[in-house]
Amino acid sequence: MNEASADLKKNNVFTAYRVKALLVLSVIILCLMCLIFGNLFAKNQSDISFTVTFSGIKILELLFRKGSFERYDNWGNLITVKYPMIICYGTAALFFLIVAVLAIYIIRYTAGKRKNEKLWSNLAAWSAITASLLTVVFYVYMLFCKITVYNYYGEEKYLYNIFEIKAIFLVIAMLLFMVGIIELKFKIETVTTVKRFLPIYGFMVIPLILILVFNFYPVLLQTVLSFKDFILSDGVWGSKWVGFKQFKLIFTDNEMLMVIGRTLYISVLRLIVGILPPLILSICLYDLKSARLRSIFQNIVYIPHFFSWVVVYAITYSLLSPEGLVNSLFKTSVDYMVSEKYFMPIVIISAVWKELGWGTILYLAALSGIDTALFEAAKIDGASPMQRIWNITLPGIKNMIIFLTIMSIGNILKGAGGEQLLLFYSAPTKDQALVIDTWLVWYGMKKLEYSLGAAMSFFQSAIGMIMVLTCNYISKKTCDVGIW
Amino acid sequence: MTAKVSERNYSIIITFICAVVALLCLYPLVYTVLVSFCDPSEINASYFLPIPKQFTVQAYAQVLTAGNYIVKAIGVSVFRTVIGTVTSVLFCSLLAYAVSRQNLPGRGVVIKIILFCILFSGGLIPTYVVIDSLHLTDNIWVYIVPNIMNVWNVIIIKQFFEGLPKEIEEAANIDGANEWTIFCSVIIPMSKPVIAAISLFTMVGQWNSWFDAFLYISNAHSELWPLQYYIQISFSNLNQINQGNLDKLEEILNIGTINDMSLKMALTVIGCLPVLIVYPFFQKYFTKGVYVGSVKG
């Protein structure tokens, strides 16, 4: 019995071992395929009169032609273009590097278990990781490579101006790194676990791809864009690197500073009205005697939160436009919606109208955690309602108040409500509505200031992240409430 | 004695405050609905409650028949709401289910990616570049695909899944049920509150959204505009929309007639009606699903 189970276990281990080998080897071969058949470099149409993409195999071929490449253009003229040898040598080196890694892994896995298993494993893993790092270095080197190339027109261009260096290098590096990690971290036992969880990994594939494409990749792009000077015809990857120029502009240009200042101003206004009124309302709701009445009121005050800003704008319009309620009541014809004087009050009040009820939901949750016996005791002791609020209710939800305040301070650069401002502004009030979010639309998008816009949102996100993390930390330390 | 009196006053005051707030929340809505039922010619806005002398659905009829553009827009909105909600809830809960499995190798990395995406977002412009390079601009799927994954929702659902008893899952496992069956017939039914709350938020978000149409759909493709963007366009005053927009609008909506207040209000009521209809059905799930959700604001 015992022998049989041991035998079974050994058998299992052996298949797991093979699974791991198969996994690792196939990833390395995938790398090699990427390098050979993937489009490593693309050439812009604007530089020569034809587009051409280079797969790895073509590059390797170029190595034997001293980097020269002949091609007929659209008009039938023969064009000879010489490419910098650094690309050819580098790619060839990369090719041999991956082949070497592959060889190491094949040697490691062919004979099954070896005596100095640990040493082999480490060697294999670190060779893959080194190869991955070298790939990244090569990629970055090419990005910043100062070799000037004379193209067909005889212009001088930097390497990255002529070639669009594809991100496939990063994919290769990632895959190689994965190989190393699999080798190091995947214990043989994990392989069996992984096998058991295979359907679960299947569940993750589509969601993860979507997250990587629509959440993660924009972050990468934002970082790249904010250090470049974006020109539409050159594309994101072909535009010039300019270092911190965009950030310098943000912090020195008066107009940009004004935009940031106005963002802070509107955010602070919103923060003030976003904290106190919901607090008062939730205390009132909580102290209502009739539970039925409370739930009716609660459900009513939540409703506006679910309206879109467009609808809120429409409703505001129906009350304040020249033909609206207010003007007919007072027999006037002031167009409140486009007046500079009333713009901020309208924006703030309509925001309060929309979010007041919803703001109570967390306070009410915190309030429901207070021990009701305290209130009974206070009543018997003859405490007045005000004393009760002051001594029981407020201390009971103090943590939640602090938490919410801290979190909205953390979000201060994003809290100006760009969507609402985009709807409510009009020509006379456009200046007042110019905050970071609206700036991104009006100037960043429409005037193609992609780089400055990316730098702006990078700044916004970075500050937001730092503030939220610190605030979360503080709030966890002081009042034991955090986001996670 | 004095304490008792003030106790009574207090309860009167708080009832009063609550009632006033509730009235203020409802009043603009009631006003809008009433105006929308007025005859465009006899509308009299000088009353607090402009109760129409005779109820007429003329405004609605006119709006809905204006070159059937509005009907098309409603179609787009319904499409994005239904498909968007189903796909989003499905894929978010799939990922949440995966990362809620404690001993899943690689779980930590995935959670770190999700948390990073919560904290650090690619702004408007990089997102636009990505969507443009995927040829999603001027394409109806721009409403669906980029909105499927909501990292916040994944975390919320994950937290709920982690609170579920593990024994049931294990029992189902032993019974030989595969993961998909466990997910569909054990996990999802047990997580009704959180699924309902997330569905509501996604639904309302999709129905209410106009900004993505504003960014990604050009004026030449007005047949892809959702209803909310139509309302926005028909309300924006002349200063706000550029000439190209205006010509298009005139052609589409017969701008002469859309000037009427009751028509605009009819449009507005159509714009918020689905939300009002769905709201009562989901409202009972609020308490459970919402608390975590409302932190994100």
Specify whether B33 is located in the same domain as B157.
no
Pair B245, B116 in one domain = yes
What pLDDT was estimated at residue B249? 56
In the predicted structure, residue B289 carries a pLDDT above the cut 60: no
Range of the domain at B290: 67-295
Which residues on chain B are in Cβ contact (under 8 Å) with A339?
Answer: none
- The distance from CA B97 to its chain's CA centroid, rounded to whole angstroms, is 24
**Between the CA atoms of A94, A96, A101 and A107, what dihedral angle is there, to the nearest 10 degrees?**
170
Asked whether B79 and B142 are in contact (CB, 8 A), the reply is no
Give the start-end residues of each E strand in A143-264: 148-150, 156-158, 163-165, 228-229, 240-241
Q: A368, A314, A364, A298: which is closest to B280 by C-alpha? A: A298
Beta carbon pairs, A and B, within 8 Å: 293
Region A218-234: mean pLDDT is 85
The residue among B37, B59, B81 that closes a domain is: B59
Q: Are B202 and B88 in contact (CB under 8 A)?
A: yes
Considering the domain architecture, whether residues B41 and B97 belong to the same structural domain is answered as no
Percent of chain A with pLDDT over 90: 15
Percent of chain B with pLDDT over 90: 26
pLDDT value at position A20? 80
Q: Which of A3-17, A129-143, B46-60 has the lowest mean pLDDT?
A: A3-17
**Helix ranges (DSSP H) in A145-167:** 159-162
Decide if B48 and A307 are in contact by the 8 Å CB cutoff: no
The answer, yes or no, to whether residue A85 has pLDDT greater than 80, is no
- Give me B204's structure tokens: 């309302």
Distance from CA of A56 to the nearest CA of B (A): 24
**Mean model confidence pLDDT for chain A:** 82
Indicate the DSSP class of residue A331.
T
Residue A265 has pLDDT above 50, yes or no: yes
Q: pLDDT class for B187, splitting at 50, 70, 90? A: confident
Largest CA-CA distance found in chain B, in angstroms, rounded: 75
Task: Provide, as residue numbers in chain A, all residues whose Cβ is less than 8 Å from the Cβ of B17.
Answer: 280-281, 284
CA distances from A218 to A440, B53, B111, B118, B135 (A): 15, 56, 19, 13, 15
Percent of chain A with pLDDT over 70: 87
Facing residues of A68 across strands? A82
Identify the pLDDT of residue A401: 85
| Burial (Cβ within 10 Å: 0-12, 13-18, ≥19) of residue A218 | buried
Instruction: Look at residue A62 and tell me whether its pLDDT is greater than 90.
Output: no
Q: B78 and B121: one domain?
A: yes
Instruction: Enumerate the β-bridge partners of residue A165.
Output: A41
Do B52 and B178 lie in one domain? The reply is no
CATH code of the domain covering residue B184: 1.10.3720.10
- A231: tokens are 């020109």
Choose among A148, A70, A138, A153: nearest CA to A98. Answer: A138
Confidence of residue A425 (pLDDT cuts 50, 70, 90): confident
Return the pLDDT at A88.
82
Sorted by where each starts, the structural domains of chain A and their CATH numbers stand as: 2-195 (1.20.140), 253-447 (1.10.3720.10)
Answer yes or no: do B205 and B140 share one domain: yes
Does residue A417 come out as left (phi exceeding 0), alpha (psi in the -120 to 50 range) or beta? left
How high is the pLDDT of residue B94? 94
Using the structure block, give the residue that is written with the tokens 């070639």.
A163
| Whether residue B101 is found in the same domain as residue B169 | yes
- The sign of the torsion formed by the CA atoms of B249, B252, B257, B261 equals negative
Task: Verify whether the Cβ–Cβ distance A423 to B232 is below 8 Å.
Answer: yes
**Do residues A351 and A273 make contact, with C-beta atoms less than 8 angstroms apart?**
yes
User: What's the DSSP call for residue A229?
Assistant: E
Do B12 and B95 lie in a common domain?
Answer: no
d(CA A242, CA A422): 31
Partner residue opposite B117 with nearest CB, options A215, A221, A484: A215
Query: What is the DSSP code string of B147-160?
Result: GS--HHHHHHHHHH
Give the pLDDT score at A12: 62
**What integer pLDDT is reported at residue B101 of this predicted model?**
85
> Which residue, among B212, B222, B220, has the nearest Cα to B136 in the 3D structure?
B212
**Token pair recorded at residue B56:** 């007429």
Token pair for A448: 């193609």
Query: What pLDDT digit, counting tens, does each position of A339-381 carry?
Result: 888 899 999 999 999 989 888 888 888 888 888 888 888 888 8
> Which range is least confidently modeled, A77-86, A465-474, B176-185, B278-287?
A77-86
Closest Cα of chain A to B126: distance in Å?
5
Of A53-62, A105-114, B156-165, the one with minimum mean pLDDT is: A105-114
CA B120, distance to chain mean position in Å, is: 23
Residue B225: the pLDDT is 87
Is residue B37 located within the same domain as residue B180?
Answer: no
pLDDT score at B131: 93
Phi-psi category of residue A480: left, alpha or beta, with phi > 0 → left and psi -120 to 50 → alpha? left
The pLDDT of B20-40, averaged and rounded, is 86
Which residues of B fall within a CB distance of 8 Å from A310?
Answer: 208, 210, 228-229, 231-232, 235, 271
**A23 to A102, A135, A169, B234, B261: CA distances (angstroms):** 12, 21, 21, 58, 67
In contact, B130 and A213? CB cutoff 8 Å: yes
- Please compute the mean of the pLDDT values over residues B53-64 and round it to a whole number: 77
Structural contact between residues A81 and A153, judged by C-beta atoms closer than 8 angstroms = no
Count structural domains, chain B. Answer: 2
Based on the fold, state whether residues B186 and B91 are members of the same structural domain.
yes
A58 burial (CB, 10 Å; 0-12 / 13-18 / 19+) is middle
Are A423 and B149 in contact (CB < 8 Å)? Answer: no
Q: What is the pLDDT of residues B99-143, one digit of tens each?
A: 998 888 888 889 999 989 888 888 889 999 999 889 998 889 999
* φ, ψ at A72 (rounded to 5°): -85, 135
Range in A157-161, A458-462, B158-162, B280-284 with the lowest mean pLDDT: A157-161
Q: CA-to-CA distance for B282 and B131, rounded, in angstroms?
A: 33
Which pLDDT tens digit goes with each residue over A381-420?
888 888 888 888 888 888 888 888 877 887 888 878 888 9
Average pLDDT over residues B246-265: 60
List of residues 6+ apart from B266 with CB closer than 8 A: B36, B59, B60, B62, B63
Give A 172-191 residues with CB within 8 A of chain B. Answer: 186, 190
Per-residue pLDDT band at B56 (split at 50, 70, 90): confident
Q: What does pLDDT average to over chain B?
A: 80
Task: Answer for the pair B196, B78: CB distance below 8 angstroms, yes or no.
Answer: no
Backbone phi, psi, residue A149, to 5°: -120, 135
* Per-residue pLDDT, A6: 57
Mean pLDDT of A422-439: 87
B193 with B134, same domain? Answer: yes
- R_g (Cα) of chain A, nearest Å: 32
pLDDT surpassing 80 at residue B234: no
**Looking at residue A50, what is its pLDDT?**
60
A389: DSSP letter? I
pLDDT at B88: 96
What's the whole-number mean pLDDT along residues B64-83? Answer: 85
Higher pLDDT, A197 or B53: A197
Predicted pLDDT of residue B266: 86
Geometric angle at alpha carbon A111, from A109 and A115, rounded to 5°: 95
Chain A, window 327-356: residues with a beta carbon less than 8 angstroms from a chain B beta carbon: 328-329, 337-338, 353, 356
pLDDT band (50, 70, 90) for residue B43: low
| Interface contact flag, B120 A461, Cβ < 8 Å | yes
Q: Are residues B47 and B78 both part of a single domain?
A: no
Q: Does B79 score more than 80 pLDDT? A: yes
- Chain B contacts in chain A segment 392-421 (CB below 8 A): 407-408, 411, 419
Q: For tokens 């970071």, name the residue.
A: A436
pLDDT value of position B147: 93
Question: For residue B240, is pLDDT > 90?
Answer: no
Q: Could you tell me if A199 lies within 8 Å of chain B, comparing CB atoms?
A: yes
- What does the pLDDT read at residue B244? 47
Closest approach of B79 to chain A, Cα-based (Å): 18
For A129-159, what is each residue's pLDDT tens digit?
Answer: 999 999 999 888 887 777 666 666 666 677 7
Chain A: residue whose CA lies nearest to B273: A307
C-alpha distances (whole Å) from B62 to each of B15, B39, B68, B70 are: 42, 11, 10, 10
Of B26, B149, B264, the CB nearest to A211: B149
